[in-house]
Structure 1
Amino acid sequence: MSWAELLLELAIIFLLALALPLVLRLERSLAAVRRDRAALESSAGNLTEATRLAEAASIRLRAAAEGGGRQLAERLAAAEPMRDDLRYLVERAEALADRLEALVRTARPLAQEAPPDPVPEAGRSQAERALLRALRAGR
C-alpha cells in the first residue's frame, strides 16, 4: 500500500468518525418524526370524525329549526283570526262601556229624585241589584 492510499483511507475514516454523531442525531430525529406522524395521523382521524359528527349535528339542528318554524307559522296562522275576533270584541265592549257610562251619568240625578222603587229587591235579577247598589253608592 502506498502512502497515498493510506492517507486516503485515514481521511475516509476521519470523515466517517465525524459523520457518525450526525447520523445518530439524524436517526433520533427521524424516530421522533415517525412518532409524531403516527400521532398526527390519529389526530387527523379524530378531526375527520369530529367534522362528520358536527355536520350531522348541523343537519339535525337545521331540520329542527325548520320544523319549529313551520309549527310557529301554523300557530300564527291559527291565532290571527282569534286576534281579529278579540279586537272586534274589545271595540264593541268599549262602545258598550261608553254607552253604559253615559246612561249611568244620566240616571244618577234621576235616581236621587225618584221615589223608592215599588219592586222589592227579591224580585230583581242579580245584575239589577248590583246596578242599583252602584247607583246608590255613587250619590
Structure 2
Amino acid sequence: METGAQTHEGKILILATEACAYPGADSVGQAHAGYPANTYVLRVRSPVMFPERFYMDCFRKGIDGIIVMSCGEECPYPGAYKALAERIDRVYQLMKAEGIDLHRLRLTAICTVCNRAFLKEVNDMNRWIVEHGPVQWKKAA
C-alpha cells in the first residue's frame, strides 16, 4: 500500500431473522469471536417485509454492503423465503439500473448456531468493501 493511501472502511448492514440468524449472530458474541466494528446487525422478524426501495435507500445513506441473513427454506412463515428471494432479485435489477455492483447485496441462510458461517459472511463482505471502496452510482446523463 502506498504511503498516504486510504482504505475505505465501509458500513455493513445485516438483516438477521429473529428465528435463526440473530441467534447465530448472538452465538458469535457468546463465543467471544470478533467481527468488524463497521457491522450493524438489525434483528428483524422477516426480511421479506422490507420493500425494494429500502435497500436502495440504505446504499444512498452510506451503507456499502447488505447481508440478508434468513432462515432459508426453514423459515417459520410459509412462502416468505421464496418471496424474499424474488424481492432480492428485483433489488438486483434496481442495483443494475443504478450501476451498483451486485456483490454489495447478499442473501444467505444462517442457522441458530452457525457462528462460523456468520463470521465468514461478514468478513467476506468486509474484505470486498475494503477492496472496492464506497458505492459508485451511475453518472447522471
Instruction: Indicate whether the TM-score tops 0.5.
Output: no
TM normalised by structure 2 equals 0.21
Task: Name the one with the larger strand percent.
Answer: 2
**Higher RCO (CA < 8 A, seq sep 6+):** 2
Which has the larger helix fraction?
Answer: 1
Larger Cα-atom Rg: 1
TM-score, normalised on structure 1? 0.22
